[in-house]
Structure 1
């Protein structure tokens, strides 16, 4: 199976499960790295500079793993005014960001017009920013609050300035574990239907996986299978991004987590299984920089974002911090050539000579002051409205 995958052959879900559970770790990693090298023989590994702007923490979905949300009417609930969102976008551009991830709770107060006005204002004031934002779950929410079908919501978001959908809200797409951790969220099949609709309307996206909330190994592979089937039909998933559940300040209360070795095995199997997805991103935010660096030896070709701001995963305990200088060093330490990319994975700057590497003290200072690592109160159960 490893030999077939290394030469570009497709592996079945059953074979992927066997490799995930039984393949020797080093052989699995070497094979995934060989597949990565066949795809990207230049040995470049990429990163991006972006900012996650969380526009509201008000949410009716009440996911058990989330430490960020507050129910409607909660004293700690907030929604940023458009002026604040625009200020953060301008600051991101000033700090070198090329991408904005606008994401937030499912607030009953926010409908189609709010998103249209916000995206149009960002594009008007910051036309160079790529809006890689929202996700299938937000589309479902907007459709409900505005009485629209998915296709209409997606087309109007696109026309207002949305460039690309994030993989947010995928969590795990398999019914049993998804219902256990997010009973009010749309089914995994609906999430995929929204993404397939978006792809059909010319909108690309990413796909994600939050592992470690109590799913079985077979359910982990089934999540990959569901994504690959849609990708076979649409080709619209630009990359796959697995990350690990963070256990603080939420209703799951750390009952289960994925180990570092489980995570590395998942990265490697994903590279072998997704013969139809171009890019694979390793997560340093949730696993730490050492494991993030190791993913570059297990099939990953990207280390994600410098992240000028991130609040959702951080509120659940992810306190790993980095800046561009550190990400470049991690990539070099893995024997790869660092390159800053844009949303479409086009190389903006290739750092071939270490003597020319940038020093980002200002960005690092901003990141550290933006993310204080504070502990937030336990999120209260939301009341659906």
Structure 2
């Protein structure tokens, strides 16, 4: 194990100290593991709980063991979309502000977009443009992860799942627009291992890892496996004509196959 990836909602009762203790507890048991935790939405919540600035909060979390931030919570930055789908969530400008603050405090972060629901193509492009401009300023984004919307068991269950063509287009357009992002991920948990394999020829250079437990997509009807063995991933990548590389969270090469 090289990484523990930990995200959650905005819990109404947990105190700020709980999150610091969680980080310290993980590091006590596994001091060498990298902790990628807390979306920008959660970080803002933790700053509010602590009564500090986002920057000071991040420094305390870093001292407790935080290594980097995931890309969740971005959804679609469009105010129209957020008013309909997540009116109480941190807005798009706030999400970008927290991410850039993390960059300025030496933390790398990821970025996402949840596509395939009620957003327009223009709103997708505006989202990508905002990410590109933010990256030009602070340069701390490691990878962009387009997330295909899964409608089952949600308030938008009448919508269809994205098609393979739509998934590949979102990856390809992202690779063209986000030329200042080092990596584009085809997240096999969201789009399935077979399409993620194809996506390696459409601009993606990362399928993600073995993964041991994934809850969010499963709750929304996702049918992909909970985990893939490293041998399966290596075979998928080689069959796609690419070189399999085991990396750490910050994309440092650990082993080539």
Give the TM-score range, shorter chain: over 0.9
Match of 2:245 in 1: 339
Contact 1:214 1:256 in 2 (8 A): no
Match of 2:116 in 1: 212
Taking the aligned partners of 1:302 and 1:287, their CA distance within structure 2 comes to 13
Residues 123-173 of structure 1, C-alpha deviations (whole Å, 9 max, x = no match): 122011100111101012212333332122211111111000000111111
Match of 2:167 in 1: 263
1:330 CA displacement: 1.1
**Structure 2 stretches of 5 or more lacking a match?**
none
The 1:220–1:256 alpha-carbon spacing in structure 2 relative to 1, beyond 3 Å, is farther
User: Secondary structure of 1:101's match?
Assistant: strand
**Structure 1 stretches of 5 or more lacking a match?**
1-96, 352-385
Question: What TM-score, normalized by structure 1, do the two folds share?
Answer: 0.64
Residue 166 in structure 1 maps to residue 166 in structure 2? no
Could you tell me which of 212, 236, 239 is aligned with 1:330? 236
User: Secondary structure of 1:303's match?
Assistant: coil
Match of 1:273 in 2: 177
Could you tell me which of 51, 54, 61 is aligned with 1:157? 61
Taking the aligned partners of 1:100 and 1:189, their CA distance within structure 2 comes to 28
Contact 1:285 1:320 in 2 (8 A): yes
Taking the aligned partners of 2:68 and 2:247, their CA distance within structure 1 comes to 15
Taking the aligned partners of 2:193 and 2:200, their CA distance within structure 1 comes to 11
Residue 125 in structure 1 maps to residue 29 in structure 2? yes
Count residues with an aligned counterpart: 255
Taking the aligned partners of 2:170 and 2:234, their CA distance within structure 1 comes to 24
User: Secondary structure of 2:32's match?
Assistant: coil
Taking the aligned partners of 1:242 and 1:266, their CA distance within structure 2 comes to 7
1:259 CA displacement: 2.2
Residues 28-59 of structure 1, C-alpha deviations (whole Å, 9 max, x = no match): xxxxxxxxxxxxxxxxxxxxxxxxxxxxxxxx
Match of 1:228 in 2: 132
Larger RCO (CA under 8 A, 6+ residues apart): 1
Could you tell me which of 277, 301, 316 is aligned with 2:205? 301
Contact 1:181 1:213 in 2 (8 A): no
Greater CA radius of gyration, 1 or 2?
Answer: 1
Contact 1:293 1:331 in 2 (8 A): yes
User: Secondary structure of 2:70's match?
Assistant: strand
Residues 307-346 of structure 1, C-alpha deviations (whole Å, 9 max, x = no match): 1111122111112013222211110110111111101111
1:256 CA displacement: 4.7
Could you tell me which of 109, 112, 126 is aligned with 2:16? 112
Runs (4 or more) in structure 1 with deviation over 6 Å come to none
1:113 CA displacement: 1.0
Contact 1:231 1:237 in 2 (8 A): yes
Taking the aligned partners of 2:233 and 2:149, their CA distance within structure 1 comes to 22
Match of 1:246 in 2: 150
Contact 1:108 1:145 in 2 (8 A): no
1:209 CA displacement: 1.2
Taking the aligned partners of 1:252 and 1:138, their CA distance within structure 2 comes to 24
Taking the aligned partners of 2:57 and 2:132, their CA distance within structure 1 comes to 24
1:212 CA displacement: 0.9
